[in-house]
Structure 1
Amino acid sequence: MIRLIIGITYLLIGELNMCINEKFKLTILETSDVHGTVLPINYSDNSYSDCGLAILSTIISSERKVNQNTLLIDNGDMLQGTALTYFHAKISNNMPNPMIEAMNIIGFDAAVVGNHEFNYGRDYLENAIKASNFPWLCANITKKATGESFTNKPYIIKVLDNGLKVGILGLTTKYIPNWENPETIKDLDFNDVVESANKWLNIMRKQEATDINIVAYHGGFERDLETGNPSEKLTGENQGYELCTKVSNIDVLLTGHQHRVIENLCINGVLVVQPGYNGNCIGKISIDFVKSSGKWSIHKKMSSIIDANDRDVDKRILNSIRTIETATQAWLDIPMGQIEGDMLIKDPMKARLKDNAFTEFINNIQMDAAKVDISNIAIFDNQCKGFNHNVTMRDIISNYKYPNTLKVIRLKGYDIKEALEKTAEYFSLVNGKIEVSKAGGRFKLQHYNYDMWEGIDYVIDISKPIKSRVTKINYKNYPLKMDGDYDVVMNNYRAGGGGNYLMFKGKTVIKDIPIDVAELIANYIFERKTIKATVNNNWKVIY
């Protein structure tokens, strides 16, 4: 009898040890801010670049071979950003969406709505969602009429073979109304991500009994990751730090939007990761679980970045977009017209220090379309090269890559002055040398927020204090009247206050021109055939 009791005791202890020692590893892969990049090329000249879904797909396949318990989540800004996506959205959307085709082949488990998902309009986004073999998540963008999630999926629960319940909550920066065309989002509410996260994560933990909660947030960090001090103006655009410190029940926070590379970092016990942009790397979360008393718990978690350098391309992805890629390339090489003179941007910094033929030309097109005599534009990034002698659609899309439209808004003279002071903050003077400012801890260089104006004459003096740098503003040879009314044409992003140009927000819209600026440029050149490069030197930056 004693032997029997001892035997049963050893058996029970053995079963208990097995229960305690049961282990499990989960891998979570994150893409974010892919911005329409499928192939590893630059559409401006088709040169090779280590980036894109076709390369990331190879990495994903390798990771799945190592651990079949791998979840793949896209964190937003997938559908817009290259000539390929522009061609599909604006020229030939009867073809299958190349981004969704690639994502379906790769086998995403979920995707989050990013701010640029709205750029091609609601129908385009909703059609992409319908074509997806995976759910799109968004908890904090809700329908005004019903209060339901815009995508009807605030979160999903993935139950793995061993019973582990993984909750995935999707959140999107609430700042979208400051950028997007109001008509596109008029029936939607953009709620605070912290409030939404608290609500839904509580439901997921208590009602769904999740073992782990992953928050995929298309937004970044508004505070220094080590000190918690503000690293940018606290507008609500990037609330990642708040999510980590003010919300319960988060185990992992996937981030994006800022195009940063962040790995192996915990904030208040929440593991975070951010995987760059354009598919140049992928975020990886590794989580070890142990099971005790029938319940899984996290034993260890870490995050890392896998870059896309020197990787093979997944031929399945190449084949899936071959037809639309061929059509895109043919469209890009359609000749529009010719430039007489020099309209190249050889040095982006110099192009932002003194009036140049390229920005003057685009401003002239905007003023022609709007029938006003004041305009502003930006050189969006340092890949903008201006126009060679022969101009094709490739040149136009490479230089003007966003699907912006135009608005004419009525401003006071002091609004223009404030806007010029804002744009002057782009520069810093370091040891007598002018540089792009990193004030406020900017992580993504916001070249697209430096405006250059036509129709007024002005001087910016960087040697002077911020908000006192504009030393001259004339309109038609006379000083700008601070209380005067002026109609100014600009893109819809800026007209809505985008880039923290809040002096423009809510101003009277005199005219709305619902045609893509890239299309306006193409039509302008095509109709005239030959364009003469001119520079009237109406503005300059001194220091």
Structure 2
Amino acid sequence: MKLTILSTSDIHGYFYPTDFRNANQQSPFGLARAASVIDLVKSQSEPEDMVLTIENGDFIQGSPLTYYLNHFDQPSAPLLSKVANNVNYDVGILGNHEFNYGREYMEHVLSKRNYPILCANILDEQGQPYFGNPYKIFTHNGLRVAILGLTTSYISHWEPLDHVRGLSFVSALQTAKNYVPKLQQLADIVIVAYHGGFERDLETNRPTELETGENEASALSEVPGIDALVTGHQHRAIATHVNGVPTTQPGYRGAYVGQIELTLSDHAITHSEASLIKTAAIQPRIQINEPLAKSEIATEKWLDTIVGRLKKDAHINNPMMARLHGHPYLDFINQVQMEAAGTDLSSTALFTNEVAGLGRDVTMRDIEISYPYPNTLAVLEITGADLRAAIEQCAHYWQWDGQQVNVSKDYTDPKVQHYNYDLFAGINYTIDVTRPLDDRITELSYHGESVKKTDRLHIVLNQYRAIGGGEFHMFSADKIIKTVPIDMAELIARYFSKRQIVSVVPTSTYRVVANTKVL
């Protein structure tokens, strides 16, 4: 007998094979392609075999379509669940981004799912699993299979309090240690589906990040009794055995379907394999998206609406050069943030290399593509020492080999972290990449004066960074003195609507140098 475990993770609202850069685009990913893969695998399985399919979180947020539903058509938002139902998943897992639009919206969307949401380590005020189902047991041909659902416990570090009020987030590792022995008594096979990733290098087992609890998959693989592990969150494409446990992480936006195959004899595993099935060449099953057809048309129309104009083009042609020398697009984002928050100090990042910046005519499509996250803003009161520490941490991004500068491996392994390199507005500063780490800032001034450790400064940051996201521990929720509870895409659109034609005015002098030579 064979047990096959199929999974998607981090779909992020990309149901159609498009990234919305153009209307009617055909991209090599999307839930519709993944659904075709799932159908094919199921159709090829033998009657005595068992196939279980897992939706591993971060499903309802992340694309212009899901943004449109949240902001302009919330009554239609439960159609997202109907799309998921059409894939015929057996279980779903909560992702951290499910919380981005608040608990009420999340519950509204998920209310129409016809399969259970599993989450053992997010608890309500009574100490019970938030969605009521920590695990589910399936039976086929006498084989009992348990799936335990877990989610990264770090959500409370990223989300505003009103999004997580009344909930507690328990370590996924500790929860697994509590549940797995019980499930071994109830089932022949125990699967853990975890919306979280790996905190250690899969080859060397060395830590790749501070063990904060955001990612615990490496430690989970060491829990006795787990027969298969499905992961996500990091957007990595992984199919391997970790500490002997077959493990998958099926990438991002439906580019892959994770597949774990367990061969069994008398309900005992005799062989296991982990693989990824690439969806690019598979014909998409567009029919799964029929509930969203009207919303998709409305989204495309909305995306092509011109909301304003820039006086000068702010397209990004070379992301590396934009981070190295600064860029009008990043100046513009900081400009929007500073006006919204009433500060003259701000920072933002060029989140990915896919961010194209803005042309002179700006549509909602341009805004959504260039600012892909539903960030809100917060104002922090920090010290000059905090500011210097933040910039020193950003300076870790650069690696000097004696002749040229590159992106540090620490920012590309295990996943690319361009979003953790911030560029600041309202100050003048210089980074010398030839100097030792944490001693690279050779100039730092504010209003023409050198920044002192004891200075008190107000800075606007996105919510993720403001509460310390990205291991920026000099920032924290207790330093927040004001919030701007409007997401950035809307703030950008409002900024244009007030002015129509926008001029970008840099407010900082920013240099990356090797010794005194500007790179």
Task: Tell me the TM-score normalised to structure 2 length.
Answer: 0.95
- CA deviations on 1:439-483 (whole Å, 9 max, x unpaired) are 277221111111111111111111111111111110001101210
Q: Is the 8 A contact 2:208 2:414 kept in 1?
A: no
Query: 2:195 aligns to what?
Result: 218
Query: How far apart, CA to CA, are the structure 2 residues paired with 1:497 and 1:213?
Result: 35
State how 1:472-491 maps to structure 2 within 5 Å. 472-491=443-462
Q: What's 1:468 paired with?
A: 439
Alignment of 1:152 with 2:132, yes or no, is: yes
Aligned to 1:254: 230
Match status 1:35 vs 2:24: no
Give the corresponding residue for 1:123: 104
Q: CA deviation at 1:394?
A: 0.6
Please tell me whether the aligned partners of residues 121 and 129 of structure 2 are also in contact (alpha carbons under 8 angstroms).
Answer: yes
Tell me the residue number matched to 1:20.
none
Of residues 473, 489, 510 in structure 1, which corresponds to 2:481? 510
> What residue identity is the alignment partner of 1:336?
V
Counterpart for residue 252 of structure 2: 277
Conserved 8 A contact 2:427-2:507? no
Tell me the distance in 2 between the aligned counterparts of 1:523 and 1:517. Answer: 10
**Aligned position for 1:241:** 218
Between the aligned partners of 2:20 and 2:164, the Cα distance in structure 1 is: 30
Distance verdict in 2 for CA 1:449–1:271, change over 3 Å: same
Question: Equivalent of 1:335, from 303, 306, 326?
Answer: 306
* Distance of 1:325 and 1:97 partners within structure 2: 14
Residues 16-62 of structure 1 show CA distances to partners (whole Å, capped at 9, x for unaligned) of xxxxxxxx111110111111111111212344311011111111110
User: What residue number does 1:62 align with?
Assistant: 40
Q: How does 1:89-488 map to 2 (within 5 A)?
A: 89-143=70-124, 145-160=125-140, 162-206=141-185, 208=186, 210-245=187-222, 247-263=223-239, 265-291=240-266, 296-439=267-410, 442-488=413-459
Gaps of 5+ in 1: 1-23
Task: Give SS of 2:429's match.
Answer: strand
**Partners of 2:355 and 2:226 in 1: CA distance:** 40
SS of the residue corresponding to residue 156 of structure 2 reads helix
Determine helix, strand or coil for the equivalent of 2:123: strand
Q: Is the 8 A contact 1:169 1:216 kept in 2?
A: yes
Residue-pair matches, total = 510
Structure 1, residues 168-210: CA drift from partner, whole Å, max 9, x if none? Answer: 001111121221112211211111111100111122122x2x0
Q: Deviations over 1:200-223 (max 9, x none)?
A: 1122122x2x01000001111111
The Cα shift of 1:115 comes to 0.9
Measure how far apart 1:537 and its partner are.
Answer: 5.0
- What letter matches 1:289 in structure 2? L
* 8 A Cα contact 2:92 2:115, kept in partner: yes
| Bigger shift: residues 145-154 or 178-187 | 178-187
**Aligned residue for 1:522?**
493
- 2:76 alignment partner, SS class: coil
Q: Tell me, yes or no, if the aligned pair for 1:424 and 1:469 is still in contact at 8 Å.
A: yes
Q: Say if 1:44 and 1:394, in contact at 8 Å, map to a contact too.
A: yes
Partners of 1:240 and 1:92 lie apart in 2 by: 37
Partners of 1:125 and 1:186 in 2: CA distance: 14
Given that residues 181 and 493 in structure 1 are in contact (C-alpha distance below 8 angstroms), is that contact kept between their aligned partners in structure 2? no
Would you say the 8 A contact 1:253–1:270 is kept in 2? yes
SS at match of 1:467: coil
Shift in CA distance, 507/479, structure 1 to aligned 2, threshold 3 Å: farther
Calculate the aligned-residue CA RMSD, in Å: 1.4
Question: What is the CA deviation profile of residues 412-435 of structure 1, one whole-angstrom value per residue up to 9, with x for unaligned ones?
Answer: 000000000111111212352222
The residue aligned with 1:532 is: 503
Q: CA deviation at 1:96?
A: 4.0
1:396-425 deviations in Å (ceiling 9; x for gaps)? 111111111111110000000000011111
Contact kept? 2:77, 2:108, Cα under 8 Å: no
- Could you list the per-position Cα deviations for residues 256-300 of structure 1 after superposition, in whole angstroms to 9, with x for gaps in the alignment? 11111111x223331111111111011011111112xxxx21121
Mark the runs of 5 or more structure 2 residues left unpaired by the alignment: 515-519
Distance across 2 between alignment mates of 1:476 and 1:435 = 31
Larger-gyration structure (1/2): 1
